[in-house]
Amino acid sequence: MEADSSPSSFRFPRLPATTGVLILICLMYLITYIDRMNVSTAATVFRKELHLSSTQVGFVFSAFAYPYLFFQIFGGWVGDRFGARLALTVSAIIWAGATLLTGLAGSLTAMLFARVLLGFGEGATFPIATRAMSDWTSPNERAFAQGITHASARLGNALTPPLVAWLIAAYSWRQSFYILGIVSFSWALIWCFYFRNNPSEHRAITPKELEALPGYGLRAQRKAEAVPWALLVRRMLPVTIVYFCYGWTLWLYLAWIPSFFLHSYGLDLAHSALFSAGVFFAGVGGDAFGGILSDRVLAKTGSRNKARRNLVVLGFLCSLVSMIPILFLHNLVWAAVFLSSAFFFTEFTIGPMWAIPMDIAPRFAGSASGLMNTGSALAAILCPPIFGYVVDKTGNWTLPFIGNIALLLFGAVMAFWMKPEQPLAEGA
């Protein structure tokens, strides 16, 4: 007997609700990093049209980080207080609008305004997403969830240079921002219709999935609790300092690597974009591997210090060792290899780092992760213009890496003050 090939006989396999939420968050991470990094590639074109110096371009890169810094803590609180569904929908609408406005900018002032608005929209996204993952992810898979979502962000980093370069060649640098803004609006619409703050209210959730989310019912039924800010700040301060050291490396890469290849090695836009993409792809692997390894170490040893803190120290030390040769060689291939290695190990720390706020304060994961991410946001403010200033004054594109190496060493030392094994209820 022939199988029934009618359309009614075919059924797509049902996607687990927890997987669907994780995929949407991964897409958000990817899109937000494309929207914040697109100026790094487009700057090679619009800096000439707008007559900008390297220092001014550095301020364009960092302008979004000022509101981004402020909305880390406030956005985390909003996520804890009102839920991730509304908070992320509103945030996405704002950053999508900012992306469209960037394409309309005709001066340095207009460009800075659009980037500040982008920071306003994106500032709350990661803390709110962490709150969503705290409710929708098993405690034994926290580092994996953070690793895979941040791997998606690094995939966005890797895709952005060739994607934006292609859009600029096919259309214009302005139209590239219009297209990306429309994509962001589309994500906001899908998130609003699909996500639910309480997993039990999602119509596709199964009893088996709910069983893997211990305490979800208690969290859903309990009224929003007052955040114990004094204790939370004290517990998260070392984590914030370590994350500042990570963030300095991140924003050096995000803001300046395309220009580094273009100016230091004389590449054109297309080849600079390809080499930059290769470096950022290394970060995708680092994020995913670090998150998976962290959860496996936790399952094997039962120690969050070993699974989180020790892996952060290892990643920082390996990254700084990989970065040292960049100071002494001027070979394009080897520079790309060592930059890729350094970025791999820097991103290796992401899964363990973002699991720490959920380990320390699961009930206030949005606020705790917001406190931690203020470190990276502050680095985003300081690193790009300082890099640009050093290059303008010295003409040396490798000199700023010395400060980066020093901060990685400092971060590895400070990591020993983090205490992921002590939940907030147990005190400092």
Q: What is the CATH number of the domain that holds 64?
A: 1.20.1250.20
Comparison of pLDDT for 307 and 254, the residue scoring more = 307
Residue 340 has pLDDT above 60, yes or no: yes
Task: Note down the domain range covering 59.
Answer: 15-426
User: Six-digit token pair at 248?
Assistant: 């300095």
Comparison of pLDDT for 309 and 365, the residue scoring more = 309
Residue 214 has pLDDT above 60, yes or no: no
- Give residue-wise pLDDT tens across range 394-414: 888 888 889 899 999 999 999
Provide the residue count of the chain. Answer: 428
Determine, yes or no, domain membership for 56.
yes
- Give residue-wise pLDDT tens across range 16-56: 888 889 999 999 999 998 988 788 778 878 888 888 887 88
Predicted confidence at residue 39, as pLDDT, reads 85
Q: Is 339 in contact with 257 (CB distance < 8 Å)?
A: yes
199-208, 295-304, 310-319, range with greatest mean pLDDT: 310-319
Average pLDDT value for residue range 258-274: 76
Q: What is the mean pLDDT of the chain?
A: 84
Query: What pLDDT band is residue 389 in, cutting at 50, 70 and 90?
Result: confident
86, amino acid identity: L
Query: What pLDDT band is residue 215 in, cutting at 50, 70 and 90?
Result: low
Q: Is 88 in contact with 117 (CB distance < 8 Å)?
A: no
The residues, ordered by sequence, that sit 6+ positions from 50 with a Cβ below 8 Å of its Cβ are 105, 106, 107, 108, 111
Predicted confidence at residue 224, as pLDDT, reads 56
Q: Is 367 in contact with 239 (CB distance < 8 Å)?
A: no
The Cα–Cα gap between 386 and 27 comes to 31
Distance of CA 217 to the CA centre of its chain: 29
Average pLDDT value for residue range 236-245: 95
Average pLDDT value for residue range 259-276: 76
Residue 12 has pLDDT above 80, yes or no: no
Determine, yes or no, domain membership for 10.
no
Single pTM value for the model: 0.74
Determine, yes or no, domain membership for 213.
yes
Residue 271 has pLDDT above 80, yes or no: no
Cα-trace Rg, the chain? 21
- Give residue-wise pLDDT tens across range 148-162: 888 888 888 788 888
The Cα–Cα gap between 13 and 87 comes to 30
Determine, yes or no, domain membership for 399.
yes
Determine, yes or no, domain membership for 7.
no
Predicted confidence at residue 141, as pLDDT, reads 81
411, 65, 380: which is closest to 239 by C-alpha?
411
Domains in the chain: how many in total?
1
Q: Is 356 in contact with 308 (CB distance < 8 Å)?
A: yes
Determine, yes or no, domain membership for 118.
yes
Q: Is 118 in contact with 102 (CB distance < 8 Å)?
A: yes
Longest dimension (CA), the chain: 80
Determine, yes or no, domain membership for 9.
no
Comparison of pLDDT for 94 and 80, the residue scoring more = 94
User: Six-digit token pair at 231?
Assistant: 């204790």
The CA dihedral of 311, 314, 316, 322, to the nearest 10 degrees, is -140
Determine, yes or no, domain membership for 4.
no
